[in-house]
Amino acid sequence: MRRFLKTRAGWLAAAPLALAVTACSQPPPPPAAAPATPAAPAQSPAERGKVLVTVGGCNDCHTTKKLGPNGPEPDMSKMLAGHPEEIKVAAPYKPAAGSVWAYATTDTLTAWSGPWGVSFAANLTPDKNTGLGGGVWSEETFLKALKTGKHMGTSRDILPPMPWPWYSQLSDEDLKAIWAYLQTIPAVANHVPDPLPPAGAPPAAK
Ligand code: HEC
């Protein structure tokens, strides 16, 4: 070994081994300090509300549709503005006698016809004249409507297919978050018509 190490080639040959031994015999470097887990950024009520509105499917009925490459898709330029006022619906759908089909909807999925007459998805944007802005609606009215199923929390029944019985199971905090989010979205002026009564029925009380 001694003789071997004396030669230049020997040193060269032995060097990697020496390095390797040195490397192995050294204590492992201290583990890099674990990055501090960033505290989850606090979610504002409006941010929480956005999640609830998105997964709660509100856009399915309250946002009109446009034709995209794969068929109808929500027209987000009119997000949550309800049934488009320019699409006039004059009378309820009349299923053929004996037909298994009972309900109908427009291709925007914003007007719905059934035994209750015709309902039109409301404008949920903060527009002052036609939406939830303008002081007619308030957080309190909004919560009452979604919890009691009464129009604006006090009058006629909210009509199908508005799935308020599901949403009424949300906590007040979550419903307030939805309200807070809806106040932040772009206002869209769109006057949604009043519901139509079923064929042959007296006009529904407002
Ligand atoms: C399956 C369709 C559908 C879905 C999904 C839906 N809505 Fe509705 N919504 C309607 C229809 C239709 C009306 C109009 C009912 C009426 O005139 O009585 C309505 C009405 C409303 C109203 C007005 C209630 C009132 O007092 O007159 C509010 C507020 C509302 N929806 C909020 C929401 C929110 C928030 C979501 C999602 C969390 C949602 N809706 C999801 C169909 C839907």
Q: What is the DSSP string of 30-46?
A: PPPPPPPPPPPPPPPHH
- 156 C-alpha to ligand 1 centroid (Å): 14
Q: What is the DSSP string of 71-107?
A: EEEE-GGGTT--S-TTS---S---PPTT-S---EE-T
Could you tell me if 108 and 87 are in contact, meaning their C-beta atoms sit under 8 angstroms apart? yes
**What's the pLDDT score for residue 30?**
66
Q: pTM to 2 decimals?
A: 0.82
- 124 C-alpha to ligand 1 centroid (Å): 8
- 97 C-alpha to ligand 1 centroid (Å): 30
Residue 35 has pLDDT above 70, yes or no: no
196 lines ligand 1 (CB under 6 A): no
Q: Which of 49, 39, 11 is nearest to 167 (CA)?
A: 49
Tokens 């040959």 belong to 13
Q: Quickly list H helices, the chain.
A: 2-6, 8-25, 45-55, 58-62, 139-148, 164-167, 172-182
What digits encode the pLDDT tens for the residues 60-107? 999 999 999 999 999 999 999 999 999 999 999 999 999 999 999 999
159 lines ligand 1 (CB under 6 A): yes
What digits encode the pLDDT tens for the residues 157-186? 999 999 999 999 999 999 999 999 999 999
